[in-house]
Structure 1
Amino acid sequence: MPDRHSPVSDQSGQHGQSTPSPTAPAVPGPANPVRRLRPAQLLFEPQADEPEPERFFDLESIDDPAELLRRSTELTLAFRAAAERATDFQAIAAAQLADTRRFDALSPAEIAARVDWTPDYAARMVEYGQSLLKQHRNGER
């Protein structure tokens, strides 16, 4: 019996695939690729009375100054720790890119150009990254 379902368009825009029969479950595989349907088109634009105010971790909604100080300090410390960790990863990446054992090793000046550092700062980051890698190899930290 021919399938009377209309063709479906997947995300790639390909046509001609029919929807699976309700009695035969479609199992993803080479014969039955997973099809993703496009979201339904909006027929109207929802009204926004006024733009939503920006929120920064709901700090603006805290009325108690002691609680505001506690929460903002907590966020400051968390962001500082995240920035320090990200800097460590930058240094490790710089050291790995500058590793002379790599056939495509970069100079500190080339690394600096990639991330908008000065060549001097890049050289210090490479050294710092090398010390972090050495600590990691020795099981420290």
Structure 2
Amino acid sequence: MAEPERTERRLRPAPLLFEPSEAAADPEHFFDLESIDDPQELLVRATELALAFRAAQDRAMEFQAVAAAQLADPRRFDRLSAASIAERVEWTEDYARKMIEFGEDLLKGHPDD
């Protein structure tokens, strides 16, 4: 896995909306894209969704890093090692250490150091 990065500019993608369970159960259904006939409109909406998923992934990774840093905090009586954190989320131990460091930077308020 690549080392986490933080983009300088936050994208303002289309919001991700949860689909009703019956729509999500249909493998052909994906955020109503299959119902768009105009290829230009389809391209725009699909691009909006791709950007939204990318932004959601970046944000989720930041939360992973913060949680990892909190779990590894030596002040916690129930502190976890990088190896234990890695095992829980199927990371390598080296990647877990990098995520812990990234999370510590986020908690301190300077993620780009």
TM-score, structure 1 normalization: 0.58
Whole-Å separation in 2 of the counterparts to 1:129 and 1:93: 7
> Percent sequence identity over matched residues?
71
Number of residue equivalences: 86
**1:48-87 alignment to 2 at 5 Å?**
54-87=28-61
TM-score, structure 2 normalization: 0.72
Residue 86 (structure 2) pairs with residue 115 (structure 1): no
Contact 2:82 2:96 in 1 (8 A): yes
Alignment correspondent of 1:88: 62
Would the alpha carbon gap of residues 120 and 53 (structure 1) be closer, same or farther in structure 2, given more than 3 Å must change? closer
Alignment correspondent of 1:49: none
Structure 2: gaps (5+ residues): 1-25
Q: Which structure's residues are more often helix, by fraction?
A: 2
Whole-Å separation in 1 of the counterparts to 2:86 and 2:43: 38
Deviation at 1:54, TM superposition (A): 3.0
Q: Secondary structure at the match of 1:78?
A: helix
Larger radius of gyration: 1
Whole-Å separation in 1 of the counterparts to 2:75 and 2:28: 49
Contact 2:28 2:34 in 1 (8 A): no
Residue of structure 1 aligned with 2:74, choices 100, 105, 117: 100
Contact 2:36 2:42 in 1 (8 A): yes
Structure 1: gaps (5+ residues): 1-51, 137-141
Over 6 Å off, 4+ runs: none
Deviation at 1:53, TM superposition (A): 6.1
Q: Secondary structure at the match of 1:54?
A: coil
Q: Secondary structure at the match of 2:75?
A: coil
